[in-house]
Chain A
Amino acid sequence: MRFQAVSIAAAALLAGLCLAGCQDTVNTIENRDLSMNPNSVDARKFSTDSFCRDRLALLSMRRSMTPGGVMMVQAQIRSERYGFWSELWSGFRGDNPYHVLYRFNWMDENGMEVPTAANAWQSTIFIPGETKFLQGVAPNSRCKDFVLSVMEDPNVN
């Protein structure tokens, strides 16, 4: 009986290893001494989704001005779904790669949302370990602040 249980556990572990070994992850290399001087944004997060929170890490948030004088924001986000257990779990769930929707909303100096034709949810796909830059461009120069919303794609995950 005990031998049977050990065999089942070993088989399960082997299956898990095989599944985890089938995952494709992204490996990155960058120069150590960075010469850029980004204008970083101090971000305040409000997360209601534990899945999204645990799977995506906000590495940085930067802003600059475009040649047309409007604000452009880039959020550097990395998929944290690498490692044995994460890959095993995502392999079982079948949600690898991770499909995400994001949207930027823009506010003027009075805190009022500025309507734009470009505030639809956009889709992007994260491979485990991949870093992406989610970019938003303000609709006009009156925009001073922004809100970035991120959610799992309900049609895929």
Chain B
Amino acid sequence: MKTYCSAVTFFAAVCALVLCGCGSPARRIDPTTQGVTTVGDVNTRDWNDVATRAINSLIASGALVRPDGRKAVVMISEVKNRSGARARTQILTNKMRQAMLASGKALTTTAVGGRGPEDNATRQVRELENDDLFNQATVQKRGTVIAPDLSLSGEIIRQSTHAGRTRENTFYFHVVVTDLQSGLAVWEDNFEISKQETVNIFGY
């Protein structure tokens, strides 16, 4: 009987080890339909969803259209993450700047940005004007860089709540386009992502 119990215990331990060792090999996924969804973070699907809704809203509003027919120049200002969650806000702004460029109504500048210029080269090349190593006729002149007409900014905040074993997080994305001449917002919209989970009685 003792031998039988030992054998059963051993078998159960081996089964548990095999089950714990099970995994899946690395594979590529479609980030817009698959991917991990967690309640506490903004996931890839959420970024794609919010970016698509924001782009559609902005393009539909006509806020990028200038009365003089010229393409608006947009600077990417800061999207403040006040959610407390890990959030790379550049994912949103990069998609939006790409869409604005593709719309044919606006151009984005990299010479100035909310956290300093995205590309320092515009300023750096002008510092070559005193460098005799360079042919001065080929050095970019000062006073030629186009200043922005509009800026894109925003904010992410989070509302958390829980009841019993159910936990819920709602992320609010507020995105604004400001006319830099007047300081007035010419477009703004809010997008919400709500996620909820109920943990089991063991707490996971």
Contacts and interface: CB of A to CB of B under 8 A. Distances in A.
Interface in B95-125: 95-96, 98-99, 102-105
Interface in A2-37: none
B49 A123 contact: yes
Interface stretch (B52-60, B127-135, B148-156, B165-173): B52-60
B37 A68 contact: no
A139 interface: yes
Contact of B52 (A67, A118, A140, A153): A118
Q: Report the interface size class on chain B.
A: 20 to 34
Contacts of A140: 102-105
A141 to B, nearest CB: 7
Contacts of A151: 33
B182 interface: no
Interface string A118-157: 1111110000000000011111111000000001011100
The A interface, classified by DSSP as helix, strand, loop or mixed, is loop
A8 to B, nearest CB: 32
Contacts of A118: 51-52, 55-56, 59, 95, 99
Interface of B: 32-34, 37, 45, 48-49, 51-53, 55-57, 59-62, 64-65, 95-96, 98-99, 102-105
A68 B56 contact: no
A155 B34 CA distance: 7
Contact of A70 (B48, B57, B59): B59
Given A118-B99, A121-B33, A137 B59 contact: yes
Nearest to B64: A68
